[in-house]
Amino acid sequence: NAGVTQTPKFQVLKTGQSMTLQCAQDMNHEYMSWYRQDPGMGLRLIHYSVGAGITDQGEVPNGYNVSRSTTEDFPLRLLSAAPSQTSVYFCASSLAGTNTGELFFGEGSRLTVL
Amino acid sequence: AQSVTQPDIHITVSEGASLELRCNYSYGATPYLFWYVQSPGQGLQLLLKYFSGDTLVQGIKGFEAEFKRSQSSFNLRKPSVHWSDAAEYFCAVVRYSSASKIIFGSGTRLSIRP
């Protein structure tokens, strides 16, 4: 019963490096999303997807790219990391969007950009 | 702009005491409302949700919340807290017309005094 799986759990990058945070869910959820959590700011929506092939921007999309080629996977790409992207990142999924049910969260990925 | 406000950053209560965490939202219409809990190092877990109907909703772990339209509030309550309730609590809203974007408050950290 894996639920939402995020990898890696921890990552340290240098400014300008690129990386991909992986997110996979095995619940056949159509909706997936990425949030970043920073102290005193709660969770802010980066990007979301309502189904394979469909993505859209959230509150803070700059510096991040996403794609949704399958229902199961929703990777988050940082093309050129900046110290401002130091944060804890959460992937979340839902069966049919956020208006009919709950979000299921992964355990988070802690990213440090030096 | 839509927003969610949790005015209390950190609250400490004694074990066995009652608890109320405040949440206010700003929308033109009634949104969908949620409370999530985050234990240290973990993702978020849904405590309860309000979509419509009875304004007092029951959740898991003995929590309840009351929707008050006149005050634009959705406060979380528990009659008697346990040490295991120490965590961070997030209020969240979804605007009916924008079901794909769930917006979180900045969170309230709850500490329990033995």
Q: Considering only CA atoms, which of A111, A26, A109, A41 is closest in space to residue A73?
A: A26
Q: Considering only CA atoms, which of B45, B50, B51, B113 is closest in space to residue B81?
A: B113
Q: Considering only CA atoms, which of A23, A112, A104 is closest in space to residue A67?
A: A23
* Mean pLDDT of the region B67-83: 95
Q: Does B32 reach chain A within 8 Å, measured CB to CB? A: yes
Q: Is the pLDDT of residue A99 over 60?
A: no
Q: Is the pLDDT of residue B96 over 70?
A: no
In one-letter notation, the amino acid at residue A71 is T
Structure tokens belonging to residue B28: 């033109």
Partners of A41 on chain B (C-beta within 8 Å) are 106
B7-58 per-position pLDDT tens digit: 999 999 999 999 999 999 987 677 888 999 999 888 899 999 998 888 899 9
Please indicate whether, in this complex, the C-beta atoms of B104 and A48 are within 8 angstroms of each other.
no
In this prediction, residue B26 carries a pLDDT of 86
Q: Could you tell me how many CB contacts below 8 A there are between chain A and chain B?
A: 63
Contact A39, A103 (CB under 8 A): no
Q: Does A46 reach chain B within 8 Å, measured CB to CB? A: no
Q: Is the pLDDT of residue A101 over 80?
A: no
In one-letter notation, the amino acid at residue B62 is G
| From B41, B46, B106, residue closest to A42, measured CB to CB | B106
Q: Does B69 reach chain A within 8 Å, measured CB to CB? A: no
Which residue's structure tokens are 């029951």? Answer: B58
Structure tokens belonging to residue A73: 């996977």
Q: Is the pLDDT of residue A5 over 80?
A: yes
